[in-house]
Amino acid sequence: MTMAGTRTLSIIKPDITRRNLTGEINARLEKAGFRIIAQKRLRLDRPMAESFYNVHRERAFFNDLCASMTSGPVVVQVLESPDAVLRYRNIMGATNPANADEGTIRKDFAESIEANSVHGSDSDENAVREIAFFFSEIEIVG
């Protein structure tokens, strides 16, 4: 039985898969206490990227964001831990790696604000929605 709020949706972005660093991200996640309870590698097409980032449709960076997210493979994952959403946001670091704290994933790996290595859901509500966007329940094995 999984309690509400223990899952978050993670995306390992194309800048990481391009540099062959997927395993380094996963090692960090597991060392930080997350269980990777679902995972698959895929290539987002433009409609999928636009749909996933629909909340940002009116933002100036929307086109560049969608181009970046479709520029190579991504690895989508469901992470499980107590307070998964908040804990993952904390180890991800700030959106702009220039502002990210020491020891965070974005501080250590991100190339730019756009190629910033990982995505993590920003609320439990969005985690539920984003997990359902990529995974069916039988693909998630806690």
Residues that bind Mg ion (CB under 5 A): 122
Residues 72-101 touching ligand ATP, rule: CB under 6 A, are 95
Residue 81 or 116: the one with the smaller Cβ distance to ligand ATP is 116
Bridge partners of 40, per DSSP, are 76
Q: Which of 100, 120, 134, 135 binds ligand ATP (CB under 6 A)?
A: 120
Question: Looking at the chain, how many residues does it have?
Answer: 142
The Cα 86–Cα 59 span in angstroms is 24
Residue 111 or 122: the one with the smaller Cβ distance to Mg ion is 122
Q: Is 48 in the site for ligand ATP (CB under 6 A)?
A: no
The Cα 133–Cα 96 span in angstroms is 25
> How far apart are CB 97 and Mg ion at their closest, in Å?
15
**Rg (Cα) of the chain, in Å, rounded?**
14
> How far apart are CB 62 and ligand ATP at their closest, in Å?
8
The 3-state DSSP class for residue 57 equals coil
- The Cα-based distances of 80 to 43, 104, 107 in angstroms read 23, 18, 23
56 noted as active-site residue: no
Which positions lie near ligand ATP, rule CB under 6 A?
56, 61, 64-65, 95, 113-114, 116, 119-120, 122
